[in-house]
Amino acid sequence: MNCCTQLAVGLGALLICGCADQPTELHRQRIYAMGTWVDLSIRAADATDAQSLFGEIEVVLSAFEKDYYAWVPGQLAELNDAIHAGEPALVTSPLAALIVEAQRLSALSEGFFEPGLGALVELWGFHSSVQNPQLPPSADEISAHLDAGTKIASLRIDGQRIESSSRGLMLDLGGIAKGAAVDTIISLLLERGIEHALVNAGGDLRVIGRSGGRQDERRWQVGIQHPREIGLLGIVELQSGEAAFTSGDYERFYDRNGTRLHHIIDPQTGYPVTHTQAVTVIATNGVTADAAATALFVAGPGRWRHVARLLDIDYVLRVDASGELELTAPMRDRLRPADGVDSDIISPPDEDGAD
């Protein structure tokens, strides 16, 4: 029984479920971080509290940009340097915990999610957020990188001490870091007493509470981007705590002789995946949703349902290379046509984040 049903039962239930909502205003802020706009929508009683929270979140996001991205000086770059030198490195406990989780999800996904392939991502030129059209690497270069070692499984992690037997390994947390950042922001908001919020990192998002700000008001409605058109594939309503993440071939790509070369790499072949345009998943946290979207994108036809079961993901929408939609039954029940339904996601032209 949820709070709403309890409300119908009587005042006693209202007190027991502790949902004595105080009036709140929706406050919005837009911060550019991790190569995308991060749109924050939070319900707070006080505008000054909201502004100070936005300041704290900006600091969190800057730390993620520096320490969880392999190609700028920071913790992850230092770890990769140590691996290259064949030495152990000490990292902070949140980064160690994320790497442990990345290793676990990689194994669980049968290696389709593989954060050890940073050197291949760099070889293809997809480490830079600046569009960087260039000649694709040669087959020899790709197999040399595969041979040098691209598996996060080779890491030995002892608390905050990490080392690898594979000196060619380069960690790239690009497939999971946004999920970790969104989860960290949601935890911070909960610690500060915020009950209703949407944290949207360029369409990868997580919510708490409801958009209306009261237990009896509507839930957050979020749109799923069409991979080839400006517009939405549909809208889903999210329960408090849920995350919806999408991996798409439209995020970072260049075209070469009619083939789209993009940033999601098949760890078996070393080449960008060609069978999928986009995968959206809903999960109970950002880290799982982010890793799962990437894993299912790579797993492709015939295997994505199996990998979804391994990762315990019920809600999946896949768009294949020809634009056909495939959905799990629970996702089919939740996805509604976009027409006429308000999405709580701020549309891109709304640069200032104003209401």
Part in contact with ligand AMP (CB under 6 A); list of ranges 73-81, 132-140, 171-179, 334-342? 171-179
Residues 6+ apart with CB under 8 A from 199: 38, 39, 40, 182, 185, 186, 189, 205, 206, 207
Q: Which helix (H) or strand (E) holds 325?
A: strand 325-327
Q: Tell which one of 233, 290, 317, 344 touches ligand AMP (CB under 6 A).
A: 290
Q: Is 175 in the site for Mg ion (CB under 5 A)?
A: yes
Report CA-CA distances (Å) from 97 to 10, 27, 103, 243, 265: 44, 31, 10, 19, 24
Q: Smallest gap, in angstroms, from Cβ of residue 112 to ligand AMP?
A: 6
Q: Smallest gap, in angstroms, from Cβ of residue 265 to ligand AMP?
A: 4
Residues 6+ apart with CB under 8 A from 230: none
Q: Smallest gap, in angstroms, from Cβ of residue 301 to ligand AMP?
A: 16
Q: Tell which one of 142, 293, 296, 317 touches ligand AMP (CB under 6 A).
A: 293
Part in contact with Mg ion (CB under 5 A); list of ranges 66-74, 102-110, 251-259, 288-296? 288-296
No. of helices (H) and no. of strands (E), the chain = 11, 15
Q: Which is nearer to ligand AMP, 21 or 114 (CB)?
A: 114
Footprint of ligand AMP on residues 247-266 (CB under 6 A)?
247, 251-252, 263-265
Nearest to 225 by CA among 165, 145, 280: 280
Q: Smallest gap, in angstroms, from Cβ of residue 56 to ligand AMP?
A: 25
Q: Is 172 in the site for ligand AMP (CB under 6 A)?
A: yes
Residues 6+ apart with CB under 8 A from 249: 227, 260, 262, 264, 272, 273, 276, 277, 278
Q: Is 75 in the site for ligand AMP (CB under 6 A)?
A: no
Provide the binding-site residues for ligand AMP, judged by CB under 6 A.
Answer: 113-115, 117, 121, 126, 172, 174-175, 247, 251-252, 263-265, 267, 290, 293-294, 297-298
